[in-house]
Amino acid sequence: MQTGSDMGQNFSLSSLQKENEQLKKRILWLEGLLHHVPAMLYTSNNNEKTISWCNQCMIETTGFSLEEMNRMGTDFFRYIMHPDDFELTIAAQQSFKNHKQMFGGITRVRKRGEAGWRWVFGLGVPFTHNEHGDVVEAIGAFLDLSLAIDSDAQLAAALNEILRRQNENLLNKLTPREKDVLTLAVKGLNNKEIAQTLNLSRYTVETHRKNIRLKLKVRNTSELVALARKIGFQ
């Protein structure tokens, strides 16, 4: 014959088992949800840049298994990302070391065995930290922009707006005098002519042009003029 104590213990055990089953179902539901999200999701070690977890979309889009991604480390990103864009991986890693709370950008990736590139929009945020507050793991997400085929007009408008803001950011790096010098350089004036027009010494104009190239990250006059026209100088 069971005592009241025995019945209480059985009830408690039954309740725990029921809660455990509900928790398992909830975990399976969440895992299913993450694997069905139409975006590449992953977590990575910020120091080693190794993938520790990813969803099914990441596996199918890149053609690599989770085990392969983890084993390859940084080389995984080097393989799937366009060579001109790989530096974004290092920039993201460094930004989290500098305690930035989000890093985003547009890059090109490709699936293993394919030659074509896909444009994707990526975002990363810190996930776990050590006792010193440094980021240990980060969460990353890549969204294939080609999936926005049902909203071409909106996608074009969004990209134009992003480009406009980027151009504004570039312009904001220049001083008013540097903008004057750049405007005249785009019109084809040489340093001597710019100096005469702005009533400056030729040395001062040369210094301004050097600073402009450094701020806009261009190597020579042809690149400078091309970028200046791109951001609105005529």
User: What would the DSSP string read from start to end of 123-168?
Assistant: EEEEEEE-TTS-EEEEEEEEEEGGGGGGGHHHHHHHHHHHHHHHHH
- Tell me phi and psi for residue 103, to 5 degrees: -135, 130
Among residues 63, 54, 69, 38, which one has the least CA distance to residue 150? 38
- Check residue 152 and give its pLDDT: 77
Q: Which segments of the chain have a pLDDT < 50?
A: 2
- Check residue 4 and give its pLDDT: 54
- Check residue 233 and give its pLDDT: 73
Q: What is the CATH number assigned to the segment(s) 169-230?
A: 1.10.10.10
Q: Model-level pTM?
A: 0.68
pLDDT digits (tens, 9 = 90+) for 47-69: 888 999 999 999 999 999 999 99
Burial of 125 (0-12, 13-18, 19+ CB in 10 A): middle
- Check residue 122 and give its pLDDT: 93
For residue 24, give both structure tokens: 């398992």
Distance of CA 205 to the CA centre of its chain: 37
- Check residue 5 and give its pLDDT: 56
- Tell me phi and psi for residue 112, to 5 degrees: -55, 130
- Check residue 13 and give its pLDDT: 78
- Biggest CA pair distance of the chain: 109
- Check residue 76 and give its pLDDT: 95
Domain ranges of the chain: 37-152, 169-230
Choose the CATH number for 37-152 among 3.30.365.10, 3.30.70.100, 3.30.70.20, 3.30.450.20.
3.30.450.20
